[in-house]
Structure 1
Amino acid sequence: MPHRTPLPRPTGEGLPITWRADQPDRDASAFLRMLNLATRVRPFDAYSLEDIRELWRLTTLALSHRPELPSVHQHHFEGPGGQLLVRVYKPREDDIPRPAFLWVHGGGFMVGGLDTADSICRNIALEADCITVALSYRLAPEHGLDASREDCLAGLDWVIEHAQELGIDASRLAIGGESAGGNLAAVMAQEARRRELELALQVLVYPATELEESFPSLRENVDGYMITADMLGHIQRTVAGAVSHLDLGSPWLSPRRERNLSGLTPAVVVSAGFDPIRDDGLDYTTRLRKAQVPVQLLHYPGQFHGFLNFDAINGAAADALRRIATALVQAFAGEHPDVTLEMADPASDRSLLGEGRATTLNLWNATDGWRDALLTRVNPRLARVTRWALRPYAATTLPLRRCLQDEASHQAVQTYPASA
């Protein structure tokens, strides 16, 4: 999507004190070093769109934890443009109606799918004891950006219509998404208000709320932090046809352009300091608060765009998933705190030894994850046998991994409202 006129830095109450750390968190640094090396060997624009989609799918599967659940089922239904697929995750097999959380994957509106959302949905279903539903939608450039919005709204309708058979308490329904999915979730929340549909919470993880103009964070973080200028240019060229006939300044595509945000669903917004679209989420946070909409802002000043997908190698991702789950439990109980929490890397050891320890653990976990992901792609049965055969290895190496890993959670400081 083209970014033209620069926008000013967001202002308002409750914004973070530390917008961007002096350097990325240790686990983020270790991952970014590997990623930047890989992109130097083969640039982003050297891949076909299908290659990019498969690479992102495998990367998210390889670098995330996917806990076992008693029930994971897929369902097809007829959407506005054809068959759509949803994946339903249940934390327990019983007849007790549970609240539900609809999750929309990210990927610049052109990549991503149910597999890239799998770890997030599994973790939240388990942590929040809710039924989580991953929604699919039509991607660009094969389809216009309006198609993704239509599909997500159709998915929301389908879940409500089938709530009873899915075991969902439709009176406790939340929505969420990351990046492009955060854009779609924000649009869904605005449409829910228009329909007078009461939702429990909207979870917006580094959401792309502005598709026409750019904030200062784009210039600050455009290279070296997952998303690069080359990547953005490639995305813009790829989806150009999908936006050429659309008004990017309308709230339908850029939800921050909605003039009246009062009465919207309370929100959780997750932001990252080294994210090119960090300011999109921070600006939307201030706009919601000005409209008297409670927002729980979870800010990670040492993290990058997309970090939530990598909880197998990134402590902040595991921390954010737990905090999102906690916020859902609160929302399902009718509690909506209006706070800003800033999460810092708990370790102060940025020496060569400390960085080396983080890199070693990162490589170790990534190697195991990639082995499983690639084996599953080639032969799922072989992958299961290999995991079983390697159980003794995993058990004997666990003490060493724990020694390398700092078990402390990210340290949270409440900066709004100011602590007494």
Structure 2
Amino acid sequence: MNSTTESKNRREAWFSIAKPLNKQRATLLSTLSFLLPLIVWCLISYTPFLWHPDVKLDLGGVFGSTVYTSGDHVRKGYLPDLVASTQAQNLEILKQKATGEARSSKRGNLKIIRRLSDILVVNEVIAAEEQDSDSAVYAGWGLVANNPNILRKRPLTPENIAIVRENWAELAAQSTHFEKTKLPTQPLLNLLPQGRPANPVFLPAPHEVILTGIHDWRAEPTGDKPSMLGRYLTSLRTVFLGFLIAAAIAVPIGVVAGTYDVFAKLFEPFWDFFRYMPAPAFGTLLVAILGAHQSPKVALVFIGTFPHLLLMLTKTVRMVDTPLLEAAQTLGAKGNGLLTRVVVPASLPSIYNDLRIALGWAWTWLVIAELIGVKAGLTEIIDTQGVRRNFDRVYPVIILIGITGFMTDQALAYLKTKLFPWQSNEG
């Protein structure tokens, strides 16, 4: 076999029309379908020259009436303006000192001293629990002024090192250890804003999402706020209760409507009309009827799921093979016996698939449902932290919902192979 034939055979093995891939290739591609988005996310997060439109500040600053603190994001093109504004403030301070007009409150100088605290913690100059200790931060200024190389993980710019040394000379002239009463009355120079290239705030890096998600999951509940596990269980209850109520009603109606035209004409027109009504529009009404807590949320999941499930089930039952029905009738089946012994068994595998699809719909209604009335469950985290732009806390919740829905569907798909082994090769 020549190389051209081998190449053609390999290509056909991957791209054969209407033929499934072998198990190894299918598994490889299924794995890649999850890995590729993660790889792209990592590339744009950790490769500096690819895409970092923001700067995450290690040192904040003031621009006009806006105060930026450590950890804030600013656009890359805006950072030079922020630095220039701080430099202008420092020039004004130096001019005032030269003319003897400079005056500052000790409280203002204390604020400047505290701005170095995050840098000191990140570089392990002081411990995290000492971050709010003015004495520890004050001592950190002296350490950095005398040996800037201790800032290995997050170094200061040369200009900021010069500012630290100049400020420390004024501080040490009063006292080498922190005493609030001995802070200088002359204004200290402001540290210049500096930071690192960063993703926009709405797309935190993968490691930030993972670490924050682990922290939030392990965090103990405070006050009347539930733990993350408690929120998770609340959301599960909302989804599955709404879905199970919808399924319990839709399955029998869908079976009889798909079998008997009289019931089809009675039920389908209204629910075909109702499914075009946006379920969230009923939110206020549901709260008025059922209260503000769990019940209206379950009801909204039901309203969002039931009409579509009913119509889908009706169509599924209606697609039972006509020759099968004719053969059963020839053998004497009729009336309710035809329904229970032929139509239902023949439809069950497809009904099972419809229920799997409907459960997926139920998950999509979760976030909207949990926002009506009193916010609850996982959605409260998404809503409150999203408003605060803490997206490193939002993404773990979204991913958790996705994983739960996906794993539930995969478990149901596996269960189908046990319930309906003659159809185990179908989706």
Q: Same fold (TM over 0.5)?
A: no
Q: Which of structures 1 and 2 has the larger relative contact order (alpha carbons within 8 angstroms, sep 6+)? A: 1
The structure in which a higher percent of residues are strand is: 1
The structure in which a higher percent of residues are helix is: 2
Scaled by the length of structure 1, the TM-score of the pair is: 0.19
Larger Rg: 2
